Structure 1
Protein backbone atom coordinates (compact mmCIF):
# COMPACT_ATOMS: atom_id res chain seq x y z
CA UNK A 1 0.00 0.00 0.00
CA UNK A 2 1.12 3.52 -0.70
CA UNK A 3 -0.07 7.00 0.27
CA UNK A 4 -2.67 7.05 -2.53
CA UNK A 5 -4.20 3.78 -1.31
CA UNK A 6 -4.52 5.29 2.16
CA UNK A 7 -6.19 8.39 0.70
CA UNK A 8 -8.60 6.19 -1.27
CA UNK A 9 -9.48 4.29 1.89
CA UNK A 10 -10.01 7.61 3.71
CA UNK A 11 -12.45 8.69 1.01
CA UNK A 12 -14.32 5.38 1.21
CA UNK A 13 -14.51 5.65 5.01
CA UNK A 14 -16.18 9.03 4.63
CA UNK A 15 -18.56 7.75 1.97
CA UNK A 16 -18.52 4.13 0.83
CA UNK A 17 -20.86 5.10 -2.03
CA UNK A 18 -18.49 7.70 -3.48
CA UNK A 19 -17.90 7.27 -7.20
CA UNK A 20 -14.50 6.32 -8.50
CA UNK A 21 -14.37 9.60 -10.43
CA UNK A 22 -15.12 11.62 -7.30
CA UNK A 23 -12.42 9.76 -5.38
CA UNK A 24 -10.04 10.20 -8.30
CA UNK A 25 -10.60 13.97 -8.24
CA UNK A 26 -9.45 14.03 -4.61
CA UNK A 27 -6.47 11.68 -4.94
CA UNK A 28 -5.32 12.74 -8.40
CA UNK A 29 -6.13 9.58 -10.40
CA UNK A 30 -8.57 8.64 -13.14
CA UNK A 31 -11.73 6.76 -12.23
CA UNK A 32 -10.39 3.58 -13.84
CA UNK A 33 -7.12 3.82 -11.87
CA UNK A 34 -9.10 4.23 -8.63
CA UNK A 35 -11.27 1.22 -9.54
CA UNK A 36 -8.19 -0.94 -10.16
CA UNK A 37 -6.73 0.08 -6.82
CA UNK A 38 -10.01 -0.55 -4.96
CA UNK A 39 -10.34 -3.95 -6.65
CA UNK A 40 -6.80 -4.82 -5.53
CA UNK A 41 -7.49 -3.62 -1.98
CA UNK A 42 -10.56 -5.86 -1.91
CA UNK A 43 -8.69 -8.84 -3.41
CA UNK A 44 -5.88 -8.38 -0.86
CA UNK A 45 -8.54 -8.24 1.92
CA UNK A 46 -7.39 -4.78 2.99
CA UNK A 47 -10.97 -3.66 2.39
CA UNK A 48 -13.16 -6.35 3.95
CA UNK A 49 -16.62 -4.92 3.32
CA UNK A 50 -18.61 -1.96 2.16
CA UNK A 51 -21.31 -1.17 4.69
CA UNK A 52 -24.08 1.16 5.60
CA UNK A 53 -24.30 2.59 9.10
CA UNK A 54 -27.80 3.08 10.40
CA UNK A 55 -28.59 5.07 13.52
CA UNK A 56 -29.22 2.35 16.15
CA UNK A 57 -32.24 4.30 17.41
CA UNK A 58 -33.91 3.75 14.01
CA UNK A 59 -33.63 0.01 14.65
CA UNK A 60 -35.10 0.49 18.12
CA UNK A 61 -31.74 0.05 19.87
CA UNK A 62 -31.45 3.35 21.70
CA UNK A 63 -29.73 2.12 24.89
CA UNK A 64 -26.04 1.29 24.81
CA UNK A 65 -23.71 0.23 27.60
CA UNK A 66 -20.13 -0.81 28.18
CA UNK A 67 -19.85 -3.77 30.50
CA UNK A 68 -16.74 -4.99 32.27
CA UNK A 69 -16.84 -8.76 32.62
CA UNK A 70 -15.09 -10.46 35.54
CA UNK A 71 -14.64 -14.24 35.45
CA UNK A 72 -13.95 -16.90 38.04
CA UNK A 73 -10.44 -18.27 37.52
CA UNK A 74 -8.91 -18.37 34.07
CA UNK A 75 -11.31 -18.46 31.15
CA UNK A 76 -10.07 -18.92 27.59
CA UNK A 77 -11.04 -16.27 25.02
CA UNK A 78 -12.84 -18.97 22.98
CA UNK A 79 -15.04 -19.74 26.00
CA UNK A 80 -15.84 -16.03 26.46
CA UNK A 81 -16.65 -15.80 22.75
CA UNK A 82 -19.00 -18.79 23.08
CA UNK A 83 -20.75 -17.26 26.10
CA UNK A 84 -21.15 -13.80 24.57
CA UNK A 85 -22.21 -14.99 21.11
CA UNK A 86 -25.41 -16.39 22.67
CA UNK A 87 -26.53 -12.88 23.65
CA UNK A 88 -27.67 -11.02 20.50
CA UNK A 89 -27.52 -7.63 22.23
CA UNK A 90 -23.72 -7.99 22.50
CA UNK A 91 -22.40 -6.05 19.50
CA UNK A 92 -18.70 -5.96 20.37
CA UNK A 93 -16.43 -7.58 22.93
CA UNK A 94 -12.75 -8.06 23.58
CA UNK A 95 -10.40 -9.39 26.21
CA UNK A 96 -8.50 -6.65 28.03
CA UNK A 97 -5.67 -6.03 30.43
CA UNK A 98 -6.39 -4.86 33.96
CA UNK A 99 -8.85 -6.17 36.51
CA UNK A 100 -11.66 -7.07 34.10
CA UNK A 101 -11.33 -10.09 31.82
CA UNK A 102 -13.29 -8.51 28.97
CA UNK A 103 -15.09 -5.37 27.87
CA UNK A 104 -18.47 -5.92 26.25
CA UNK A 105 -20.59 -3.42 24.31
CA UNK A 106 -24.34 -4.02 24.45
CA UNK A 107 -27.18 -2.33 22.55
CA UNK A 108 -30.79 -2.80 23.52
CA UNK A 109 -34.27 -1.34 23.09
CA UNK A 110 -34.62 -0.03 26.62
CA UNK A 111 -33.31 -0.38 30.16
CA UNK A 112 -35.36 -3.53 30.81
CA UNK A 113 -33.96 -5.32 27.76
CA UNK A 114 -30.45 -4.17 28.76
CA UNK A 115 -31.00 -5.68 32.19
CA UNK A 116 -32.25 -8.91 30.59
CA UNK A 117 -29.15 -9.11 28.37
CA UNK A 118 -26.86 -8.41 31.34
CA UNK A 119 -28.56 -11.18 33.30
CA UNK A 120 -27.97 -13.66 30.48
CA UNK A 121 -24.27 -12.74 30.60
CA UNK A 122 -24.10 -12.87 34.41
CA UNK A 123 -25.56 -16.37 34.71
CA UNK A 124 -22.92 -17.92 32.44
CA UNK A 125 -20.97 -20.57 34.39
CA UNK A 126 -17.60 -18.79 34.45
CA UNK A 127 -18.85 -15.24 35.02
CA UNK A 128 -18.34 -13.89 38.53
CA UNK A 129 -19.78 -10.40 38.11
CA UNK A 130 -20.11 -7.43 35.77
CA UNK A 131 -19.76 -3.67 36.07
CA UNK A 132 -21.80 -1.55 33.65
CA UNK A 133 -21.77 2.00 32.37
CA UNK A 134 -24.69 3.23 30.25
CA UNK A 135 -23.71 5.65 27.50
CA UNK A 136 -25.51 8.97 27.90
CA UNK A 137 -24.21 10.78 24.83
CA UNK A 138 -21.75 9.86 22.13
CA UNK A 139 -18.90 12.35 21.91
CA UNK A 140 -16.74 10.78 19.19
CA UNK A 141 -17.78 7.89 16.96
CA UNK A 142 -15.17 6.67 14.51
CA UNK A 143 -15.94 3.00 15.03
CA UNK A 144 -17.54 1.23 12.11
CA UNK A 145 -20.29 -1.05 13.35
Structure 2
Protein backbone atom coordinates (compact mmCIF):
# COMPACT_ATOMS: atom_id res chain seq x y z
CA UNK A 1 0.00 0.00 0.00
CA UNK A 2 1.35 3.45 -0.85
CA UNK A 3 2.71 5.74 1.83
CA UNK A 4 0.38 8.60 2.69
CA UNK A 5 1.40 11.79 4.44
CA UNK A 6 -0.81 13.96 6.65
CA UNK A 7 -1.96 16.08 3.69
CA UNK A 8 -3.07 12.93 1.81
CA UNK A 9 -5.00 11.82 4.90
CA UNK A 10 -6.70 15.22 5.18
CA UNK A 11 -7.64 15.17 1.50
CA UNK A 12 -9.04 11.64 1.69
CA UNK A 13 -10.93 12.55 4.87
CA UNK A 14 -12.54 15.61 3.26
CA UNK A 15 -13.52 13.67 0.14
CA UNK A 16 -14.83 10.74 2.21
CA UNK A 17 -17.22 13.14 3.94
CA UNK A 18 -18.35 14.64 0.62
CA UNK A 19 -16.94 13.30 -2.66
CA UNK A 20 -18.60 16.19 -4.54
CA UNK A 21 -16.63 18.77 -2.56
CA UNK A 22 -14.89 21.17 -4.93
CA UNK A 23 -11.13 20.79 -5.12
CA UNK A 24 -10.84 24.54 -4.53
CA UNK A 25 -12.50 24.02 -1.14
CA UNK A 26 -10.23 21.05 -0.36
CA UNK A 27 -7.17 23.07 -1.40
CA UNK A 28 -8.18 25.93 0.88
CA UNK A 29 -8.66 23.60 3.84
CA UNK A 30 -5.35 21.77 3.44
CA UNK A 31 -3.27 24.78 2.38
CA UNK A 32 -2.25 23.61 -1.10
CA UNK A 33 -2.95 24.87 -4.62
CA UNK A 34 -5.84 23.35 -6.56
CA UNK A 35 -3.41 21.75 -9.02
CA UNK A 36 -1.41 20.18 -6.17
CA UNK A 37 -4.60 18.74 -4.65
CA UNK A 38 -5.71 17.48 -8.07
CA UNK A 39 -2.37 15.70 -8.57
CA UNK A 40 -2.58 14.12 -5.11
CA UNK A 41 -6.15 12.93 -5.76
CA UNK A 42 -5.06 11.40 -9.09
CA UNK A 43 -2.11 9.67 -7.40
CA UNK A 44 -4.32 8.38 -4.57
CA UNK A 45 -6.81 6.99 -7.11
CA UNK A 46 -4.15 5.34 -9.29
CA UNK A 47 -2.49 3.77 -6.23
CA UNK A 48 -5.80 2.35 -4.98
CA UNK A 49 -6.12 4.44 -1.82
CA UNK A 50 -9.23 6.07 -3.32
CA UNK A 51 -11.18 3.18 -4.83
CA UNK A 52 -14.14 5.09 -6.25
CA UNK A 53 -16.26 8.21 -6.00
CA UNK A 54 -19.82 7.22 -5.25
CA UNK A 55 -23.30 8.26 -4.17
CA UNK A 56 -24.63 7.09 -0.79
CA UNK A 57 -28.31 6.53 -1.62
CA UNK A 58 -30.98 5.73 0.95
CA UNK A 59 -31.86 2.00 0.75
CA UNK A 60 -35.41 2.80 1.84
CA UNK A 61 -35.82 5.36 -0.94
CA UNK A 62 -34.61 2.72 -3.41
CA UNK A 63 -37.20 0.23 -2.16
CA UNK A 64 -34.67 -1.93 -0.27
CA UNK A 65 -35.57 -1.49 3.40
CA UNK A 66 -34.56 -4.99 4.58
CA UNK A 67 -30.95 -5.51 5.63
CA UNK A 68 -30.13 -9.16 6.29
CA UNK A 69 -26.81 -10.15 7.84
CA UNK A 70 -26.14 -13.71 6.76
CA UNK A 71 -23.39 -15.94 8.12
CA UNK A 72 -22.64 -18.66 5.58
CA UNK A 73 -20.52 -21.80 5.57
CA UNK A 74 -19.45 -22.65 2.04
CA UNK A 75 -18.39 -26.12 0.88
CA UNK A 76 -14.64 -26.02 0.31
CA UNK A 77 -15.03 -27.40 -3.20
CA UNK A 78 -17.41 -24.51 -4.09
CA UNK A 79 -15.32 -21.66 -2.67
CA UNK A 80 -14.32 -20.17 -6.04
CA UNK A 81 -17.88 -20.41 -7.36
CA UNK A 82 -19.21 -18.72 -4.22
CA UNK A 83 -16.72 -15.86 -4.53
CA UNK A 84 -17.75 -15.27 -8.15
CA UNK A 85 -21.42 -15.40 -7.22
CA UNK A 86 -20.96 -12.96 -4.31
CA UNK A 87 -18.88 -10.53 -6.37
CA UNK A 88 -21.66 -10.22 -8.96
CA UNK A 89 -24.91 -10.48 -6.98
CA UNK A 90 -26.64 -7.07 -6.98
CA UNK A 91 -28.31 -7.48 -3.57
CA UNK A 92 -25.02 -8.15 -1.76
CA UNK A 93 -23.69 -4.82 -0.49
CA UNK A 94 -20.80 -6.35 1.47
CA UNK A 95 -19.27 -9.82 1.68
CA UNK A 96 -16.47 -10.55 4.13
CA UNK A 97 -14.31 -13.67 4.38
CA UNK A 98 -14.19 -14.27 8.15
CA UNK A 99 -12.50 -16.38 10.78
CA UNK A 100 -14.30 -18.76 13.11
CA UNK A 101 -17.17 -21.15 12.49
CA UNK A 102 -18.39 -19.40 9.34
CA UNK A 103 -16.83 -18.84 5.94
CA UNK A 104 -18.38 -15.46 5.06
CA UNK A 105 -20.58 -12.68 6.40
CA UNK A 106 -22.93 -11.18 3.81
CA UNK A 107 -24.85 -7.90 4.02
CA UNK A 108 -27.90 -8.34 1.80
CA UNK A 109 -30.30 -5.50 0.84
CA UNK A 110 -33.73 -6.57 -0.42
CA UNK A 111 -37.28 -5.25 -0.66
CA UNK A 112 -38.81 -7.84 1.68
CA UNK A 113 -38.33 -11.10 3.52
CA UNK A 114 -39.23 -13.02 0.38
CA UNK A 115 -36.01 -11.62 -1.11
CA UNK A 116 -33.97 -13.11 1.73
CA UNK A 117 -35.67 -16.46 1.24
CA UNK A 118 -35.13 -16.39 -2.53
CA UNK A 119 -31.45 -15.51 -2.00
CA UNK A 120 -30.92 -18.45 0.37
CA UNK A 121 -32.81 -20.78 -1.99
CA UNK A 122 -30.49 -19.71 -4.81
CA UNK A 123 -27.38 -20.40 -2.71
CA UNK A 124 -28.75 -23.86 -1.87
CA UNK A 125 -29.77 -24.73 -5.43
CA UNK A 126 -26.34 -23.67 -6.73
CA UNK A 127 -24.62 -25.86 -4.11
CA UNK A 128 -22.92 -22.84 -2.52
CA UNK A 129 -24.25 -23.29 1.01
CA UNK A 130 -23.52 -25.85 3.71
CA UNK A 131 -25.37 -23.94 6.42
CA UNK A 132 -26.33 -20.40 7.31
CA UNK A 133 -27.60 -18.13 10.05
CA UNK A 134 -29.58 -15.01 9.19
CA UNK A 135 -30.13 -11.93 11.32
CA UNK A 136 -32.31 -8.98 10.32
CA UNK A 137 -31.29 -5.43 11.17
CA UNK A 138 -34.17 -3.77 13.03
CA UNK A 139 -32.69 -0.30 12.63
CA UNK A 140 -29.39 1.31 11.69
CA UNK A 141 -27.80 3.54 14.29
CA UNK A 142 -24.83 4.65 12.23
CA UNK A 143 -23.23 4.27 8.84
CA UNK A 144 -20.22 6.39 8.08
CA UNK A 145 -17.54 6.79 5.43
CA UNK A 146 -14.08 5.53 6.31
CA UNK A 147 -12.04 8.59 7.27
CA UNK A 148 -8.28 8.35 7.91
CA UNK A 149 -7.14 9.07 11.44
TM over 0.5, shorter chain = yes
Preserved contact between residue 70 and residue 133 of structure 2 (Cα < 8 Å): yes
Preserved contact between residue 95 and residue 101 of structure 1 (Cα < 8 Å): yes
Residues 41/87 of structure 1: CA separation in 2 closer, same or farther (3 Å cut): closer
The whole-number CA distance in structure 2 between the counterparts of 1:39 and 1:29 is: 15
Once the 2 structures are TM-superposed, how far is the Cα of residue 75 of structure 1 from its aligned partner?
4.0
Kindly indicate whether structure 1 or structure 2 has the higher relative contact order, using CA contacts under 8 Å at least 6 residues apart: 2
2:131 is the counterpart of 1:115: no
Preserved contact between residue 91 and residue 107 of structure 1 (Cα < 8 Å): yes
Aligned to 2:67: 64
The whole-number CA distance in structure 2 between the counterparts of 1:102 and 1:75 is: 15
Please point out which of 73, 93, 96 is paired with 1:94. Answer: 96
- Unaligned runs of 5+ residues in structure 1 are none
Residues 126/42 of structure 1: CA separation in 2 closer, same or farther (3 Å cut): closer
TM superposition score normalised by structure 2: 0.84
Aligned residues: CA RMSD: 2.0
Task: Encode CA deviations 1:43-76: one digit per residue, 9 max, x unaligned.
Answer: 333222111111111211110111011234x346
TM superposition score normalised by structure 1: 0.86
Once the 2 structures are TM-superposed, how far is the Cα of residue 98 of structure 1 from its aligned partner?
0.6
Residues 82/20 of structure 1: CA separation in 2 closer, same or farther (3 Å cut): closer
SS of the residue 1:67 aligns to: strand
* 1:1-145 superposed matches below 5 A: 1-72=4-75, 74-75=76-77, 77-85=79-87, 87-142=89-144
Residues 66/28 of structure 1: CA separation in 2 closer, same or farther (3 Å cut): same
